[in-house]
Structure 1
Amino acid sequence: MLRRLLGFNLFWRTFAWLALLLAGTGVAWQVAFRALESEPRALQAAQQLGDMVVLARTALSQVEPIQRLVLIKSLGRDASIRVQVAELRDDWRTYDQDPFARQVALALQQRLGQDTFVARSVNGQGGLWVRFMAGRDAFWLRAEEPQAHLGISKAWWLLIVLAGTLLGSALIAGLINRPLRALSIATHRIKEGEYDSRLDEHTLTNEIREVNRGFNRMARVLAKLEQDRAVMMAGISHDLRTPLARLRLEAEMSVHDEEARNAMAQDIDQLDAVIGKFMDYARPGELQTQSLSLIEAVEREAASFRDPSQIRFRIRVLPSLKVKGDPTELSRVLQNLFENARRYGHQKDQPARVDVMATAKGDEVILTVRDHGPGVSPAILSELTKPFFRGNTARTAASGSGLGLAIVEKSLARMGATLEILNAESGGLVSRLRLLRAE
């Protein structure tokens, strides 16, 4: 799931990369800051501690040995500083557990002399211990260990970096994604035939402003083309069908030969059907997606083919199957598939036999329409849905418009469905429709 989001969703992909960049930058900045801060703090700590050692050594050197115990007790009243006499049996550990401690110890030795020892514990008592000489006697001065870094604890620092990274990444990703999201929505509306989509042409970003202006110009041109196309199609339909109606009337009244009159009527009906195909392919229509009973739609369109001498159906669709779609588009799809099977899916002098089956698979309903005709060459299966394409002679008739399967594919795409065409193993053509399932 995360891989899909990062791979296909621009907001989350941008957010992830920005979060990684900012988090890495924050960690790198912290490491660099601590590395640069370590040496100055070590020198500062060594300077302060060295001053205390010098003061203690001067004070102890100026008094008599018998009075040193009194002075040592007075110095020990401050809990943060303690002085005691060094003995040969003292057990102490070198103050070199990390680079910062080694820097402090080296700075103290440079300040106080090479005979100075720095320890992190003496006789099991922790702290920063400095061994120095006052006259002939050796003493230990204990102070609190200096902190390597200023500021808040590591845990709080990581939480602040994480929170700042997430908030900053979300803000930046949102700012980047917002105009692209608006462009995506507007493009989707254009695809659905809503040409009134407009994008903000006054945004502050120059590149986005130019893209929005170009998109709005394109939308206006498409709207004008769509308006001209609608007027042209309406005119073509009217101008062609009016003379066809007159021709039919004249044929009925003037031609006395019944066979010739029927042939002329069939030619006129064929021309009218071809015009209807062109109109169906060019007409966008408005989708009214709803839950549809698949068996009712199939039986209704199959019933319109009333001549059993031309086509016969065998329908196996469960009454409970429902699909999402537009009733007009679904009727158009089934009508074209059945008409295609009636024309081309029959053997010589036999009616076309059409099997209609449906199965539910996940969130899809797979509707299969199969005829028992000669099929087509596998090399041209992918070409059958192209407008005006005609297959081989086994499945081609002069009366066709070459738009039936193109209309099917276009109508299915508008409903979010797909079409697959293949040859059946035992002969015939199979049209497999993947429709969206409705509850």
Structure 2
Amino acid sequence: MRAPRRWSPLLAALLRWSALGLGSWALCLLALQLLFGRQVEALQTVQLGRNLALNVRLTELSLERYPPHLVSELTGLQLAVVNKPSSQPPPPPALAQQANALQQELCRRLAHCPMVVANGSSWDVWVELISPLEPIWLRVSLRSPMAWPPEPTLLVLSLLGAGISCGALFLLLEVERPLRGLEKALVRVGDGDEPEAVAARGAPEVRRITHHFNAMVERLAANRRDRATMLAGIAHDLRAPITRLQFRLSMPTLSTQERDRCSGDLQSLERITGQFLLFAGGGDGEVAVEVPLDQLLAELSTSHAPEQLELQLDSVQACIKPVALSRAVANLIDNAFSYGSAPVVVRLFERANQAVIEVWDQGDGMPADQWERALQPFQRLDESRGQQGHCGLGLAIVAHVARIHGGDLSCGFSDHDAPGRFVIRLCLPLNLCKPGV
């Protein structure tokens, strides 16, 4: 039962394209007949007039010696002995026009101008011959403009036109349009979205590419879910020993030094767990809303002393994912305190239709060739920081948040007007939220 199911779409497509090809051929033939039918008919009349003029000369010479019925038997020509053939019923206009054109061609080629009478009952004409004894007429069949089969030239041109038009339609409908939909899905994947499976349409090659693309998207989604599940599971498993350590710290038997050491370890575990949860969540499913960025950044700075964290905020409104952006800026501020030196300065301003968030510190920063490595997950430029709750996810989270907002992340060093020595700059587009998003 599998073979009919597999071949039935191909058979239906073959029948559909065959019908389209026949229709295109008929339309092309009709168009060529309308456009070039008169020219082809004129060429046929010239050729017929040349051949007929020769037959008329030879027949007239033969009639001087032999009777009409013998000449007709010997030559195969249709001769009639009548005063004048009847022209009833009246001939069609196209036949009358052909008869006139044929008469003009004969007059041009012969020494005399014979009479040509159109036969209204059939598509032929009578040509008057010069005979010494009696009036004789030669019957000549003409070709109707709508006769079948068509002229070979028009037939070949119509087949070429139908092939070209069907090929163009095939490329448009079966190749170009499905590939355009696949391109849009690829753009969404590149932007970090999870597009739905693309319908397999078009040519077999395009269908195979679409199936491979859908399989790739499914694998990426599965890897993303597995990563989130793994990180969330790790964070969940760390919660239990953290809770037990906190309970033991509350016991009065520990010395002050041991209690301080255990508290530091707990803070490191809390930090690592929080980073895992942030990286697992990512903010992909959060809804973007219109937010005053200056107020959001001011709320983030409330946990730091004013002499340690300085704010230079302009009033800027933007459509963002507030939870994800808050996590990203908090990571930048935390990294500035951990890797740099206070005071840390957070600046917000608008530039070139972008909201620019800068986090300055007084440290030495990082080498420019290490920046790309610092953006990768679980990468620590200072390995000693791993013992202080740093797991290498801070800048990776910020880079991911910048990417899902359509922005970019960069670093730099101070100039003469800078409030610090090293800066990490987060630029976000000032998009307005669409209704219903």
User: Which range, TM-score by smaller chain?
Assistant: 0.5 to 0.7
Partner residue of 1:85? none
Residues 322/256 of structure 1: CA separation in 2 closer, same or farther (3 Å cut): same
User: Which stretches in structure 1 are left out of the alignment for 5+ residues?
Assistant: 1-25, 55-106, 114-164
CA distance in 2, matches of 1:300, 1:406: 23
Give the letter for the 2:301 counterpart.
A
How do residues 357-436 of structure 1 correspond to structure 2 at under 5 angstroms? 357-362=348-353, 364-391=354-381, 398-399=387-388, 400-425=390-415, 428-436=421-429
Q: Structure 2 CA distance, aligned partners of 1:352 and 1:324?
A: 29
- Aligned AA (2:369): A
Residue 433 of structure 1: how far off its partner (Å)? 1.8
Q: Relative to structure 1, is the Cα distance of residues 430 and 224 closer, same or farther in structure 2, using a 3 angstrom cutoff?
A: closer
The one-character-per-residue Cα deviations of 1:188-237 (angstroms, maximum 9, x if unpaired) are 37965647x33445x46322332333334444444544444444333222
Q: Which residue of 2 aligns with 1:212?
A: 210
How many residue pairs get aligned? The number is 307
* CA distance in structure 2 between the partners assigned to 1:383 and 1:396 by the alignment: 16
Give me the whole-angstrom Cα distance separating, in 1, the residues matched to 2:238 and 2:382.
30
Residues 160-208 of structure 1, C-alpha deviation per residue, up to 9 Å, x if partnerless? Answer: xxxxx9999678424423322443455537965647x33445x463223
Structure-to-structure mapping, 1:19-418, within 5 angstroms: 40=43, 43-44=46-47, 111=109, 172-187=171-186, 188=188, 192=192, 194=194, 197-200=196-199, 203=201, 205-285=203-283, 286-304=285-303, 306-308=304-306, 311-318=308-315, 321-346=316-341, 351-362=342-353, 364-391=354-381, 398-399=387-388, 400-418=390-408
Secondary structure at 1:315 match in 2: strand
Once the 2 structures are TM-superposed, how far is the Cα of residue 331 of structure 1 from its aligned partner? 0.5
Q: Provide the rounded CA distance (Å) in 1 between the counterparts of 2:299 and 2:165.
A: 57
Deviation at 1:323, TM superposition (A): 1.4
Q: How high is the TM-score relative to the length of structure 1?
A: 0.56
Specify every segment of 5 or more residues in structure 2 that has no aligned partner in the other structure, as ranges.
1-27, 58-104, 112-163, 433-437
CA pair 228-387 structure 1, distance change in 2 beyond 3 A = closer
1: CA distance between counterparts of 2:312 and 2:202?
A: 61
SS in 1 for 2:348: strand
Cα contact 2:344–2:359 (8 A) shared by 1: no
Secondary structure in 2 matching 1:253: coil
Q: 2: CA distance between counterparts of 1:431 and 1:253? A: 43
* Change over 3 Å in CA distance of 1:428–1:220 after alignment to 2: same
Equivalent position of 2:117 in the other structure = none
Alpha carbons 1:378, 1:423 under 8 Å: kept: no
Give the aligned partner of residue 149 of structure 1.
none
